[in-house]
Chain A
Amino acid sequence: MSDLSREQAFAKIVAARGLRPPGRRSADQTLRQIAAFFSASLFREEIARRPGILQGVDARARLLAALVFLISVSLVRSIPGLLAHTALPLIALGLSRIRPAEFLRAGFLLALAFSALMAAPATLNVVTQGEVVLPLVLRTEEWRYGPYVLPKVIGISREGLFTAATFLLRVLSSVAAVLWLTLATRWVDLVRALRSLRLPATFLQIVGMTVRYLHVFHRHSEEVHLGKKSRSVCRTPRSAEQAWVGSRIANAWERGLHLMEEVANAMTARGFRGEARFLPDARFRSPEWALLMTVALFCIAVQFA
């Protein structure tokens, strides 16, 4: 039978049985989105490997610098001080060769939008009392109900603007610092850097292993999805798709339990007796001290300016 007649014969079968091509189903799209999320966020290594000045600094120093910065941000009261604090992580982003689009997509844009939404009501004089600089609603008289007062003039107050700006700048500078830290640092280095905070060793070991095995399950779920897709000749009912997804979740759970036992055996075989131990970290070099000193002096200067 020639290829063409073979195809035609098959087409007749498809038509007779009312089969439709698999198409793009919601389960397929959801899984792809989840995989893309993991690839883009949790497993992003490319930015951390760029030859930026700050990528060369030990992750512990970067973590400590970020913590000092966050504490300083929470203590600053003035708008110029907060503006200065917002500028510092943006400079760090530039020195780490992080592109603006990457930074915005990584969550800064979302933080900006959400914070602005939350801060907006605080600008009104009904929330933050004070001198109205931009009237919005003019009423004929004041309205009182118990402790609540609706003034004659409702608008944006000077004090409201200050409160909202303080909140917004504090959030944005904190988010910028955290994003800089997480974008420019590999997850394995960040987990390792947490040791410098004297967190419990067992907790850190669990976190490290969690990151490690998220990769394993991510890869496994991608392969399972592709394996199913490769044999999905035609469209199946939505209920069957959902049942399949449910069964894969259960299967992943079962595999996880089995793998957990295997890992426990592997740890026992190498002498593990319940106590997490790590290699000592290297001493700080001049780049680490330079970063810490720069951030510390900057924060102190802004506090007392």
Chain B
Amino acid sequence: MPPLFELTDIHYAYGKDIPALSGVSFAVVPGERVAILGPNGCGKTTLLRLLAGLLFPQRGSYRAFGREITEALLSRDPFGIYFRKEVGIVFQNTDAQLFNPTVEDEIAFGPLQWNGSSEAVRQQVLESMRTFGLRDLARRPSFALSEGEKKKVALTSVLVMDPQVLLLDEPTAGLDPRSSQALVDLICEAERQERTVLTATNDLHIVGDIATRVLILGEDRRILASGAVEEILQDRRLLLSANLVHSHRHAHGDLWHTHDHAHPESPVHAPEGD
């Protein structure tokens, strides 16, 4: 199957002296579910924004939907419109994503840009709010939403456009366990609809639910490893070196244990007695 996205030797830096990606290469096929892991500052957000066509590499090549993606190409209709409709990104910072006065306006924003009929958009918005349980929040202003509700609205406002691809930047960051699980359920539902989903996260405990493949970005902003979820998450040495888990010792009475774990609880928990 030809890849949907293909990145070859991508380099990106903010300004002159803040490198963000250094020689990243990988491909994603349609329908694939990928988790992008890595410590803070390794370039996960930059990579997602590059995939969304919001940033463009300073070196290297980014191909999507069979075309070389450049700033000039995306600003030319109709491919630019097609790309924006088919590639949806949910930002980590909900304040940046929720810029409309009410929830209903927020969800309607995307479809209104490319759908000719306002009445059709209204129906689409109503249906989305019903599907995602947001009808009661329709007229609520964004500032009156909890963090979990904001994330849900942000995700809905992208899914309403029915994109082929979903890019999620730390979707569960700052959420309580129940809200986090609710969001994961929404993501899994999106995946069941055969969308291609790439999720950047530090949260190891959701990776098994939302991905089949893992990409690890290292602190040197290159790809450290790539492979199936089970294979990657069982590799303790890899996770330690990638700063995705940490190792500490603590005492149970006279007995000392060394544990590796991420926070919150992760599938990697391999106690080694001393």
**What total of A-B pairs shows CB separation below 8 Å?**
94
How many chain B residues have a CB neighbour from A under 8 Å? 41
Q: B84 contacts which of A186, A211, A269, A278 (Cβ < 8 Å)?
A: A269
Contact B99 A212 (CB under 8 A): yes
Contact B99 A209 (CB under 8 A): yes
Contact A186 B125 (CB under 8 A): no
Chain B positions within 8 Å of A, measured between CB atoms, are: 49, 52-54, 81, 84-85, 87-89, 91, 93, 95-102, 104-105, 108-110, 112-114, 118-119, 121-122, 125, 139, 141-144, 157-158, 161
Contact B99 A271 (CB under 8 A): no
**Interface size bracket, A side:** 20 to 34
Contacts of B81 in A (CB 8 A): 271, 273
Q: A192-B101, A277-B112 are in contact. Are A266 and B118 (CB under 8 A)?
A: no
Contacts of B100 in A (CB 8 A): 208-209, 212
Q: B157 contacts which of A212, A263, A270, A277 (Cβ < 8 Å)?
A: A270
Q: B99 contacts which of A191, A192, A267, A279 (Cβ < 8 Å)?
A: A267
A186–B101 alpha-carbon span in the complex (Å): 11
In the complex, A280 has a CB within 8 A of chain B: yes
Contact A212 B141 (CB under 8 A): yes
Q: A212-B141, A215-B143, A270-B84 are in contact. Are A280 and B96 (CB under 8 A)?
A: no
Q: A208-B100, A278-B105 are in contact. Are A265 and B54 (CB under 8 A)?
A: yes
Q: How far is the CB of B213 from chain A (nearest CB, A)?
A: 24
A24–B122 alpha-carbon span in the complex (Å): 52
**Binding site secondary structure of chain B:** helix
Contact A271 B104 (CB under 8 A): no
In the complex, A262 has a CB within 8 A of chain B: yes
Name B104's closest neighbour in chain A (CB-CB): A279
Chain A positions within 8 Å of B, measured between CB atoms, are: 43, 45, 186, 188-189, 191-192, 208-209, 211-213, 215-216, 219, 259, 262-263, 265-273, 277-280
Contact A269 B52 (CB under 8 A): yes
Q: A279 contacts which of B49, B88, B93, B112 (Cβ < 8 Å)?
A: B112
Contact A279 B105 (CB under 8 A): yes
Contacts of A259 in B (CB 8 A): 95-96
Q: B102 contacts which of A188, A267, A268, A280 (Cβ < 8 Å)?
A: A188
A269–B101 alpha-carbon span in the complex (Å): 18
Q: A216-B95, A279-B112, A279-B118 are in contact. Are A268 and B84 (CB under 8 A)?
A: yes
Q: How far is the CB of B196 from chain A (nearest CB, A)?
A: 16
Contact B54 A269 (CB under 8 A): yes
Q: Can you list 16 pairs linking A and B with CB atoms under 8 Å apart?
A: A188-B102, A188-B139, A208-B101, A215-B142, A216-B143, A259-B96, A266-B96, A266-B97, A266-B99, A272-B113, A277-B118, A278-B105, A278-B112, A279-B105, A280-B118, A280-B119
